[in-house]
Structure 1
């Protein structure tokens, strides 16, 4: 089990410099990768994001890349193109404004005067960038695994608490059902006092039994226990397997069963246990949001 919250740092060396990558991850339902690269590497932004997408599955991922030293050789000026451009500007000056100055700064607006680094240099930088990001991901995943184990341990304790609460509800259910029947009988008897005879006692008893059965919570407790078993099985899955979506689904089902228990409960003790269940389920929900 892995958390979606983590941080990692990785680097890779080049001949005269170094590429350093930082990666941060926070919980999110789907995978969202954003990369920020220095100006000289900005053209490799999509490449950096794709490297992360190939390794990660969920979370909001932020990658920050910086360089140290001379990663790329400086662009070189194409002097022949610069001379030709300056001559053309001078000829235009002589035609339009003879004697005016032609500042060299005008050449900055002429495209393609500076040749970028060679293809072999770009390939080396791409390889170093990929290696730095992968090392950062390795470090982040180690942190995510450690935090995931801590979250799993916490959730196992809460699952045990929920099992105990379900057992207490079951232990109280029979007594509560009998108490409900007794209250219903007493209420019916009070309503029938002074009423002429002729009502069928068996019919009244049947109505009382029907009302009592409608408050039966056996099915809800059975389903809740089944979901807890599956939840515990998911927590015991191999650490690298993603299980966040499955845990989230099971948690939704458990919340539904707890709500039904609460609506059916006709006993103060059971209602108290159901409230405690909802508190534990909400704490589980907060933890599950961070699981990949």
Structure 2
């Protein structure tokens, strides 16, 4: 049953279908009488036409990823991943993130009580794909397209493969995301990457519109970076205590930030940072 639902979900993602009729269900041999179906899909009866849709689109995307880990599924995962590298929109970013997430042994173990053993071969293919997109020539192209690079970081974050991140991102000494909006989730992903890459010397997040929650996630991984640029991220007085915690960074040499929302009340935090950071050469 899960294989049938997964195949239909995958077909829907590829063809931008979120509402399925009885013909779709019959084609993929989805049993409408199964109680399992109602756990994932809702039925709608309008004008004598019965249709089905997943309870949430993200559930359809998850099943479209899960199908590639089910035994006896004949789909070509390697081909799908290679095509996705050239055109990510073919399958959708969330599907790719789910596929990468399921490559993690711990994640797959959480699903064991509910289904049979998931494919370790699929996991190996995903890891090999991640290695291929992180080869030096690919990294150079990603450096020019910051949003695409951030998408790759999401894949690595979902894979939870710290050894892979450390090994493949070793050539990087600087991460620069000028004017790339960072939600708290983006900051969590970046924090994971930075935690794996201790050789990063420069981090430029100018005009990334980072919120307090995002700064909270990043503060724990900024302790080894020498050059941090945070201009134009609209820091407030309430966020300055987070910035002051950079005093724990004994490698920090350059810190740049600016914000019209910061008042004289924050002067004490800046003074504290300057006094505590013996390595700090310039702050502006």
- TM band (smaller chain): under 0.3
**Structure (1 or 2) with the greater helix fraction:** 1
Question: Which has more radius of gyration?
Answer: 1
- Kindly indicate whether structure 1 or structure 2 has the higher relative contact order, using CA contacts under 8 Å at least 6 residues apart: 1
